[in-house]
Amino acid sequence: MVSLHLLPISLGSIPFPRQESCYNLSLMANPGSIPRERQVLVHLHQINRRMDLESDRGKLIQFILDQAIALSRAERGFLIFKKPEGDGYDIPVARNIGLEVIDHPMFEVSRGIIDEAWKTGQPVVLDNAKKDEEFGTRSSVAILRLASVACLPLRRRSKTIGAFYLDNRNRSGLFQAEDMLVLELFADYASTAVRQSGSSAGASAELQDMEEENERLRRSNQELKGSLLVLSDRLKELEKGMGGPSN
């Protein structure tokens, strides 16, 4: 069985709030005193608390991706969303293990692997993408020289709202079953954080949509009233021409 490696939280440029400085104390100060499984749960709990405290969506998604890379020991990581118009993907953050930004990220991932994870709502895990029967013949896999790849969807109820795309071009078999269990649990936490971070913006957008719809209905009502007045005047003219209303 492959043992899980509990890695420190990769903060990058995102500082912890002062009141959360206890994260590296307590149980984590002496990890040898608690079982490995408990260490993993404590670590995930710390990450989850950090996500709950972050109100800036940009910093949040950067932090989430850094944690996914650290937990998986991936060489590179990409956080993927659908474009607002629904055609294609958007990758707002892409980084390597050194936390350096990856330029032109859409040219650094396999669209077919992302499509499969997004469509099925299930993780796609490849020990060696170049030799995989389904994906090995794809040009993107060959051009990018992909070895280990894991694409995990972020789910909201039965809908995919995003995905982690993690890879390593030099090492096969990186993502083992035990690691995937941790990553899937983290993906559940991350999907909740991403959804909540968008709730305020979503509420504002929904309110704006409602105001626009109300304005559209108001204009329609005014046009309808105007049409009814015109029709009423026309009927009166017709009645006059016919000698008044019949009794």
Q: What is the pLDDT of residue 240?
A: 75
**Other beta carbons within 10 Å of 85:** 6
Residue 139 carries which side chain, given as an amino acid letter? S
Q: Which two tokens stand for residue 149?
A: 């790849």
C-alpha to C-alpha distance for 185 and 9, rounded to whole angstroms: 16
pTM over 0.75: no
Beta strand 159-168 pairing with 124-126? unpaired
In tens, the pLDDT along 123-152 reads: 999 999 999 999 999 999 999 999 999 999
Beta strand 148-156 pairing with 89-96? unpaired
C-alpha to C-alpha distance for 168 and 16, rounded to whole angstroms: 29
Residue 231: helix, strand or coil by DSSP?
Answer: helix
**Other beta carbons within 10 Å of 171:** 15
Q: What is the pLDDT of residue 4?
A: 36
In tens, the pLDDT along 30-42 reads: 555 456 777 888 8
Task: Report DSSP letters for 85-135, one per residue.
Answer: TSSSEEEEEEEETT-PBPSSGGGSS-HHHHHHHHHHSS-EEES-GGG-TTT
C-alpha to C-alpha distance for 158 and 52, rounded to whole angstroms: 23
